[in-house]
Chain A
Amino acid sequence: MAELFAIDDAPIDAGRLLAAVGDPAAGASVLFLGTTRNENAGRRVTRLEYEAFATMAVREMRRLARQAGRRWPLRRVAMVHRVGVVPVGEASVGIAVSAGHRAEAFEACHWLIDRLKELVPIWKKEHYRGGTVWIGAQQGGPPPPRRRARRAG
């Protein structure tokens, strides 16, 4: 099975991620899926949109996988992040890790999603009724969404 590190606008295929980490020496495969939530900071999110610096993002994913492989005795790692509009409730990111035993597979998968959120150049734009906001771009906490028009009353 070919290795899988990708930025893709298609829905994330969990089976493909698990297949990419299949290994006869693995005793555990852990799959993490991050799914888009319908609220953030008390606001109702109608849809999310992701943008990536795709070539750098894939390079960073591979670098993180190599780092994880030095910290834990892993068999294989696969990482996919979706871009474009992701409807609420669908997966925006998927990470699969296989290892000889479950402890290192769980730990490495947790570490990988935390590092991805810090380092891989991908940005989330949340759409609300009446506005949008890029997450992460603002100083401090998220500001209220920009209003296109003041609502009456």
Chain B
Amino acid sequence: MRVRVRFFASLRELLGPGAPRAVPAGTTAGALWDAIVRATPAAGRVRVRIAVNERYVDAGHALADGDEVAFFPPVSGG
């Protein structure tokens, strides 16, 4: 299946804005993040937050085809 990956803030500077990506069926949000960190270990220094289709999820959240998966560092607005 395919998902659209997006990165923000420090992760965007490190990994780019993100792109569509093929993942095995049943992949969890956390497993996708682990694969990203294996490819770019520096990303693992961030305490990552994950949102699927603009809602916060836990690492165990199972992804579905067509999902938009956003990875970002702890927020710091205000």
Contact = CB atoms under 8 A, between A and B. Distances in A.
Interface in B1-30: 6, 8-10, 12
A60 to B, nearest CB: 8
A119 B49 CA distance: 10
Interface residues of A, number: 28
A74 interface: no
B76 A135 contact: yes
A13 interface: no
Interface in B58-78: 70, 72-78
B47 A139 contact: yes
B75 A56 contact: no
Nearest to B51: A56
Interface of B: 6, 8-10, 12, 45-47, 49, 51, 54, 56, 70, 72-78
A136 interface: yes
Interface of A: 34, 50-53, 55-57, 59, 81, 92-93, 113, 116-125, 134-137, 139
Given A53-B8, A123-B9, A136 B73 contact: yes
A134 B54 contact: no
B55 to A, nearest CB: 8
Specify which of A52, A57, A134, A137 lies most central, judged by the most chain B CB atoms within 10 Å of its CB: A137
A53 B10 contact: no
A134 B51 CA distance: 20
Given A93-B78, A135-B76, A137-B74, A123 B8 contact: yes
